[in-house]
Amino acid sequence: MSANQLKSALWCVLFCVGTAVLLTLLSHQPRPVTAQDDHAVYLPLVSRPIVFTRGNNLLLNPSFEGEGDCQINPPNPDLCWYHPGGIPELQIPIRWVFDYENQWDGRDCGQPPVCDNPLTPEPDDWWNAWIRPEVRVLPAQLLPPPEHPLFIWDGNNTLKVFKGYGAISYVLRQSVWLEPGTYVLEISIFPDLVIGYDDQGNKIPAPDPLSGEVEFRAGSTNSGWVLPSFLEKNTYYFVFIITEAAQTEMKIAIRGRYAIQNNGWFMDDWWLWRQDDLTLPPGVYTRSGQPAMLAANAAPPVIPYTFPVGNPTMGTDE
């Protein structure tokens, strides 16, 4: 057999084999997967586009770092924080205004006529009456190293607002000049809401989702109360539109309606920027661009809270 004949025969064999394989593949009918199959079904990963693109931060002192050396015992505390009303328990970061509710101011809420928290179902609920919180600008040196990534997300400081065995409701606000456009207010918080500890010393989070709520406001526009997840970092994006240039007050309102063992909130790394190419409508969103869980849309479980006998003003601050 000549070389040309051998080459032709080889090509013929390869063609026949390839045709047979192709016909086998085309004729194969895959069997649908049922619940009885011991097979894992993997769906293709679908990534959502990043909808939030930070611009120039329009907030002043957005990470509570101050405007000087704001470590432990700073040489010039006025560049770091101030104490409104001369109250040492209120250490408010400069450039921010702090408002709070305090039904205990000047009276004992447990004595007739008793105070009442309108957000709880019990009548004459003096135990859960609003009380003044405590506020601290905490540098990293005052936190255990394992807690740094939990509570500090930018720079060296974090802000903690808290009260042990006290229901708290407060607002942090700041006025900013805004031109017409679409804006995003980005807020990160860690609700440290604890009702106790288990046998291993682990925190037990508050069981009622209404134990902690957050609301974002820009001028007369507000997000409605949002329900964050407890014992973890939550980042929210409040999208709003300004139609006329104006000095606009940005407000972050937070409340914990129950006087639980530790009603604590950490916050850091806040942002405000203009993003006119944003396609999302006004509202509050999570990092993935999904709408946040609003308290108005949630049906909270009926959870009986039992509180110790005593005065919440005497509770231990966590």
CA dist., res. 20 & res. 10, Å (int): 16
Q: Which two tokens stand for residue 230?
A: 């407890």
Q: Which two tokens stand for residue 291?
A: 């709408």
User: Span 171-187, mean pLDDT?
Assistant: 98
Domain residue limits, the chain: 77-300
Query: Given phi > 0 = left and psi -120 to 50 = alpha, else beta, which region is 134?
Result: beta
Q: What is the pLDDT of residue 13?
A: 54
Residue 171 has pLDDT above 90, yes or no: yes
pLDDT digits (tens, 9 = 90+) for 219-248: 999 999 999 999 999 999 999 999 999 999
CB 163 within 8 A of CB 263: yes
User: Span 150-160, mean pLDDT?
Assistant: 97
* Residue 156 confidence class, pLDDT cut points 50, 70, 90: very high
Residue 317 has pLDDT above 60, yes or no: no
Highest mean pLDDT among 36-40, 110-114, 154-158: 154-158
* Residue 303 confidence class, pLDDT cut points 50, 70, 90: low
Residue 194 CA from chain centroid, whole number: 16
Domain 77-300, CATH among 3.30.70.20, 2.60.120.260, 3.10.105.10, 2.40.30.10: 2.60.120.260
Question: Mean pLDDT, the chain, as a whole number?
Answer: 85
SS3 labels along 252-271 = EEEEECCCCCEEEEEECCCE
Whole-model pTM: value is 0.81
The alpha carbon dihedral of 62, 265, 295, 129 has a sign of negative
Residue 296 has pLDDT above 60, yes or no: yes
Place of tokens 């010039």: 76
Residues 6+ apart with CB under 8 A from 141: 71, 72
Q: Which residue has the higher pLDDT, 114 or 309?
A: 114
CA dist., res. 70 & res. 23, Å (int): 75
Please report the DSSP string for 12-68 in residue order.
HHHHHHHHHHHHHHHH--PPPP-TTS-----PPP-PPPP-----S--SSSTTS--SS
Q: Which two tokens stand for residue 146?
A: 């394992």
Q: What is the pLDDT of residue 2?
A: 61
pLDDT digits (tens, 9 = 90+) for 12-65: 655 555 555 555 545 544 444 444 444 444 444 444 555 899 999 999 999 999
CA dist., res. 254 & res. 248, Å (int): 19
